[in-house]
């Protein structure tokens, strides 16, 4: 089962190595990881999607909490959070195919970020399902390259992590 874990940590050198090292040595598999500064520049927020059963997820949380750099750990239940991932998808496209691809982008809420004679680069953000759908729709044109930011997540409503 996939777990979305949000972590607030001290923003200094070596912290990410500690977090990712902890996952590795306790055999917790990371599917996705995204890091960025929060509104307080001394604090970073890490969002990790990890795979494992309930026991594993609990252990992840407890072990993360033990790290001295960790300020807060919260496993976000799917129904209580919003999650998004940003991707670049480079697709082969002859000039004749461009308008079809543009239509797909419009319907799916994606943007053309770059274009050349034989390819377009699409910028798209969304949930995992939306992005899977986008890949499905573009597969036929020949996907040349995909770059993903990793998932970020936030609690719905007025609740905040602090």
| Interface contacts to other proteins, rule CB under 8 A | 10, 13-14, 17-18, 21, 25, 55, 58-59, 62-63, 65-66, 68-71
Residue number, 53 or 100, with CB nearest to other proteins? 53
Burial of 138 (0-12, 13-18, 19+ CB in 10 A): buried
Supply the minimum distance, in Å, between the C-beta of residue 41 and other proteins: 15
Residue number, 13 or 107, with CB nearest to other proteins? 13
DSSP letter (8 states) at residue 77: P
Decide: helix, strand or coil at residue 90: strand
Assess contact for 104 and 154: CB atoms under 8 A.
no
Supply the minimum distance, in Å, between the C-beta of residue 18 and other proteins: 6
Q: Quote the CA–CA distance of 152 and 133 in Å, as a whole number.
A: 19
Supply the minimum distance, in Å, between the C-beta of residue 16 and other proteins: 12
Supply the minimum distance, in Å, between the C-beta of residue 25 and other proteins: 5
Residue number, 12 or 79, with CB nearest to other proteins? 12
Residue number, 1 or 25, with CB nearest to other proteins? 25
Q: Quote the CA–CA distance of 48 and 7 in Å, as a whole number.
A: 8
Decide: helix, strand or coil at residue 94: coil
């Amino acid at each position: 089962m996939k777990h979305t874990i949000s972590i607030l940590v001290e923003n200094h050198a070596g912290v990410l190595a500690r977090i990712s090292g902890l996952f590795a040595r306790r055999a917790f598999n990371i599917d996705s990881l995204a890091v960025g500064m929060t509104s307080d520049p001394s604090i970073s927020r890490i969002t990790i999607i990890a795979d494992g059963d309930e026991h594993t997820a609990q252990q992840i949380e407890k072990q993360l909490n033990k790290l001295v750099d960790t300020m807060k750990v919260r496993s976000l239940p799917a129904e209580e959070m919003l999650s998004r991932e940003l991707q670049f998808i480079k697709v082969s496209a002859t000039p004749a195919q461009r308008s079809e691809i543009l239509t797909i982008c419009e319907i799916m809420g994606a943007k053309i970020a770059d274009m050349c004679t034989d390819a377009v680069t699409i910028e798209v953000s969304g949930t995992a399902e939306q992005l899977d759908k986008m890949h499905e729709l573009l597969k036929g044109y020949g996907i040349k390259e995909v770059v993903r930011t990793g998932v970020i997540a936030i609690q719905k409503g007025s609740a905040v992590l602090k």
